[in-house]
C-alpha cells in the first residue's frame, strides 16, 4: 500500500471509528517523540501513521502537517463516532462525489496555510456532521477559507455591516454579493449616480454564523 493510501485509510478510520475525547489542541503544542510512545498514537490511527511514516523523527513538514491534523480532529471530539460514521458513510455511498470524504479532507488540510485555517475548516465540517449545512456547502466554505487571508476572515467574523470600499480582495472571495444601486434623483434630473453595495452571500452568512458561534463557545 502506498504512503498516500496508508494515510487515507488511517484518517478514514480516525474520522469514523476513533474516540477523540482525549484530543486537544494542547497536544499539538507539546508534541514530542516521548509523547508518541504513549497511548495517543495507538488510539488515533492518523497520528500513529504520520509518525510511523516519519520513521525515527518528524521533519518540519511532517510536524506542521500533523499539527494541522490535530487541530482539525480536536474540533470533532464532541461528535460521537456513530454520528461521524453515519454522515461520512452517507456521502461516500451517495455516488455524487468521486473522492471519498477522508481523502478529500486530507487534500484540504494539506493545502491549509496553517493550523488556524485547518481549525476553521474543521468547524465547518463539524457543522456538516451535525447537519447544519450540506456537504456541498462544506466544500464551498472550505475553498473560500483556503483562499482567504486569515486576518480578513477574522475581520468578517467580527463585523455585521460591510462597505464595498472596505472589502479589498474579499470582494472576490465568494463571501460577498455586490449590487449596483442607482442613486439618481429623477425628479431633479441630475446626472447618473451609482453606488456599489456589498452584502454577505448565502455561503458567506453560513461561514460567518458558524465560525462566530464556534469562537464564542471557545471563549
Same domain? For 92 and 185 the reply is no
CA distance 207 to 144: 9
Position 51 scores a pLDDT of: 76
Position 219 scores a pLDDT of: 40
Same domain? For 25 and 98 the reply is yes
Same domain? For 9 and 68 the reply is yes
Per residue of the chain (219 residues), what is the pLDDT tens digit?
588 888 999 999 999 998 888 887 777 766 655 555 556 666 788 888 887 776 555 678 888 898 999 999 999 999 999 999 999 999 999 999 999 999 999 999 999 999 999 999 999 999 999 999 999 999 999 999 999 999 999 999 999 889 888 999 999 999 999 888 766 655 555 455 577 888 999 999 999 999 998 665 654
Same domain? For 16 and 102 the reply is yes
Same domain? For 168 and 102 the reply is no
pTM: 0.87
Domain housing 192: 152-201
Q: Structurally, how many domains does the chain consist of?
A: 2
Look at strands 176-182 and 194-200 and give their pairing: antiparallel
Half-sphere exposure for 164 (CA within 13 Å, toward CB)? 10
Position 31 scores a pLDDT of: 60
Amino acid at each position: 500500500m502506498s504512503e498516500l493510501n496508508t494515510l487515507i485509510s488511517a484518517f478514514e478510520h480516525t474520522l469514523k471509528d476513533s474516540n477523540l475525547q482525549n484530543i486537544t489542541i494542547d497536544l499539538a503544542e507539546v508534541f514530542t517523540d516521548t509523547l508518541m510512545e504513549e497511548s495517543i498514537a495507538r488510539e488515533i490511527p492518523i497520528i500513529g501513521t504520520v509518525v510511523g511514516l516519519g520513521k525515527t523523527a518528524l521533519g518540519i513538514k511532517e510536524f506542521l502537517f500533523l499539527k494541522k491534523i490535530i487541530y482539525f480532529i480536536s474540533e470533532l471530539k464532541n461528535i460521537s463516532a456513530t454520528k461521524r460514521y453515519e454522515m461520512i458513510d452517507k456521502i461516500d455511498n451517495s455516488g455524487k462525489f468521486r473522492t471519498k470524504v477522508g481523502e478529500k479532507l486530507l487534500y484540504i488540510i494539506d493545502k491549509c496555510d496553517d493550523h488556524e485555517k485547518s481549525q476553521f475548516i474543521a468547524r465547518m465540517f463539524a457543522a456538516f456532521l451535525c447537519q447544519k449545512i450540506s456537504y456541498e456547502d462544506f466544500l464551498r466554505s472550505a475553498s473560500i477559507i483556503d483562499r482567504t487571508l486569515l486576518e480578513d476572515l477574522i475581520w468578517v467574523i467580527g463585523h455585521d455591516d460591510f462597505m464595498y470600499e472596505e472589502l479589498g480582495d474579499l470582494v472576490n472571495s465568494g463571501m460577498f454579493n455586490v449590487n449596483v444601486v442607482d442613486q439618481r434623483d429623477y425628479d431633479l434630473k441630475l446626472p447618473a449616480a451609482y453606488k456599489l453595495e456589498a452584502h454577505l452571500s448565502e455561503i458567506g452568512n453560513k461561514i460567518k454564523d458558524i465560525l462566530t458561534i464556534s469562537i464564542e463557545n471557545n471563549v
